[in-house]
Amino acid sequence: MAASASAHRPPPPPPALPLLPSLAPQYHHHLPLASLHPALAVSVASIAASSVAASASAAGPAPLSGLHFIFPRASRTLLCTPSFSGSRPPSSSQQQQQQQHATSLHPVRVQINAAINRGLRFEAVRWIAYRRNYLSITINVVFDIPLAALPAPLCSRRLTVDNHTFSVVLDPSSSSRSSAAAAAAAGEQKVVRVKFFAVTVVAEDEVNGRPVDLVQHTSKRDHGPRRKPVIARIRPTLGDGRLAAAPLVPSTHHHQPAQALDRPASATAEPPDYYYSPAVATATSSSSDDNGQPASSFDPVASAHYETTAEVVCFERIQFKRATANNGRKNTAQQMFRVVTILYAAVDESDCSDGGPDHQATNGNSNSNSGGIRYLEIQRVATGGIMVRGRSPGHYADRVGGGGLIQ
DNA sequence: CTCGACACAAAGTC
DNA sequence: AGACTTTGTGTCGA
C-alpha cells in the first residue's frame, strides 16, 4: 500500500526524439472541446442514442460522417491522491503533505472520446471502409476527480490533471475487473504511480476479438514506410462530473455482448460528489512541430516517452491491413472488424515486476515494456462492426449501393 | 478472392 | 495560373 505515496515529481522532459513526421500522431494544443470536430464533443449518452450521426445535440451540427466509439470497457481502476490548490505541480513540501494523505485514494472516472472522422461511409445498415483508404481517428480523454480529492475550500482556480497524482491498481492474481476494484478498496492490491498516460488504436475481429492489423502511412504513401500506430502520449482533461449520468446503453442496431458494456466499478458511486470544471485544453507541449525531418529509425515506445503531450491526438492515414471476409457474398457470414482505442497508464517497469503477463500494451508493439516503462491498460472503447472492402469502390457499385466515399 | 504495387486523375495547397 | 502534394481508385500480377 501507499506505493503511490512517493513524491511525484514530473520527470524532466527527455531530449526530443525525431519522429517520422507523418507517422506521428497529430497533436492539438490549446483547443477547447467545443472547437473540435463535432464528433468529439458528443457525450457518450448521445452517441449511444445514435452512433450513425449525432443528431441535434448540444455539441452542434451533426457530422457528415464519423463513427463514434461507444462500447467502453474498463480494465483497471484508476485512482488519484488528493490534490492541492494551485496551477502548478506540487512543491516538495506539498509532496510531503501528499505522502501523508496518500492513504486516501479516490477512484477516477475515465471517459475516452474517440471518433473516426474520415474514411468511412454508412451504407444501408452498416459502416463500410475500404482497405486502401485512409482513416482518421481522433481521441481525447476526460477524467472526473472526486470532490473528496480536491482542495478544500474549493477555489475557482482552474485545476488540471497536473494537480493530481494518479495511481493504478495492480491485480496480478485476477483479471476480473470487479474483483480488482473490490480488492483495491480493501487495500489488498499493490498501487503503482502513473508516470503519464498514452493512447493507441488497434483493430480486431468483431466476433472473436482476434487482432486485425492496422497500418499507418506517411504522406508518401506507397513510397514511405508503413508502421503500426504508435502508442501516443496524451494528457487527459478534467471532466465536468457528469460521466456517471451517461447511460451506456447499446444502440439499437448493434448486437454487442453485454460484457462489452461493463463500466468501471468506480463509476457506480453516486454522481454528485464530482468536481465540475470546463474541460479546457491546457496542454503543456514543448513543441508543435509536426513537420520535422524524418528520423533514421522509428521506435513507437520511445515516441510515447518523448512525444509532446497534448489533450487531443489524431491518428492520420490509418488503414486496415486486410479486408473483411465474404464481402457482399450471399449465404456466407459477413466478417466485421472494429476499431478499438485504448488508454494506457505508463508506470515504471520496476514498480510492477510482479504484475503478471497481462500488463502489456496490446497494440502489437512487442517492446511495449522496454525502456523501464510498462503500459497498463486502463480502459478501451470500441466501434461497432465495420465492413472493410478490399477492392475498388467500382467493384461494389452494382452490388449493394453505390461506390465512392463520403468524407 | 485477397493483397501489394503501379499508375492516373481529381482535389487541395502553395 | 501553374506547380506541387495528397488522396481516391482503376488495374494487374502474384
Q: Kindly state whether residue A406 falls inside one of the protein's structural domains.
A: no
The answer to whether strand B lies under 7 Å from the CB of residue A322 is yes
- Region of A271 on the Ramachandran plot (φ > 0 left; ψ -120 to 50 alpha; else beta): alpha
CA-based nearest residue to A378, from A88, A72, A103, A17:
A72
In sequence order, the β-bridge partners of residue A110 are: A143
pLDDT in single tens digits along all 407 residues of chain A: 333 333 333 333 333 334 454 567 776 554 433 334 333 333 332 333 233 332 223 233 333 346 888 888 998 999 988 765 444 455 666 566 555 555 678 899 999 999 998 898 888 788 899 999 999 999 999 998 887 777 666 554 567 777 788 999 886 554 444 444 454 455 567 889 999 999 999 999 998 899 999 999 988 888 888 889 989 999 998 876 655 433 322 222 222 222 222 222 233 333 335 544 332 222 223 233 333 333 222 333 333 333 457 789 999 999 999 999 877 677 778 889 999 999 999 999 888 765 444 444 444 443 344 568 999 999 999 999 999 998 888 888 765 443 334 34
Phi, psi at A233, each rounded to 5°: -65, 140
Asked whether residue A11 is domain-assigned, the answer is yes
The helix or strand, by DSSP H or E, that contains position A306, with its residue range, turns out to be: helix A300-306
Q: Is residue A132 part of a domain?
A: yes
Report chain B positions within 7 A of protein CB atoms. 1-7
- A405 in a structural domain: no
Residue A402 falls inside a structural domain: no
Residue by residue, DSSP assigns A34-83 as: GGS-GGGGS-HHHHHH-SS---SBTTBSPPSS-EEP-EEEE-S-EEEPPP
Q: At residue A259, what are phi and psi to the nearest 5 degrees?
A: -60, -30
User: What 3-state DSSP class applies to A243?
Assistant: helix
Residue A296 lies in a domain: yes
Gap from A131 CA to B3 C1', Å: 10
- pLDDT number for residue A351: 84
CA/C1' separation A257–B5 (Å): 40
Judged by C1' against the alpha carbon of A327, the nearest nucleotide is: B1
Give the range of the structural domain holding residue A166, as residue numbers without chain letter.
Answer: 3-396
At A302 the pLDDT is: 34
Q: Domains in chain A: how many in total?
A: 1
Cell (9 digits) for A71: 462500447
CB atoms within 10 A of CB A204: 16
Q: Which of residues 194-233 of A touch strand C (CB under 7 A)?
A: 219-221
pLDDT of residue A219: 86
Number of helices followed by number of strands (H, E) in chain A:
5, 21
CATH number at residue A103: 2.60.40.1390
**A403 assigned to some structural domain:** no
pLDDT for res A337: 93
Task: Considering only CA atoms, name the residue closest to the C1' of nucleotide C11.
Answer: A392
User: Residue A399, CB, less than 7 Å from strand B?
Assistant: no
The answer to whether A205 CB sits below 7 Å from nucleic acid chain B is no
Instruction: Please check whether residue A391 lies inside any domain of the structure.
Output: yes
Separation in Å: C2 C1' and A184 CA: 66
Distance, Å, A383 CA → B7 C1': 34
Nearest nucleotide to A324 (CA to C1') is B2
CA A80 – C1' C12 distance (Å)?
58
Cβ contact A45 with chain B strand, < 7 A: no
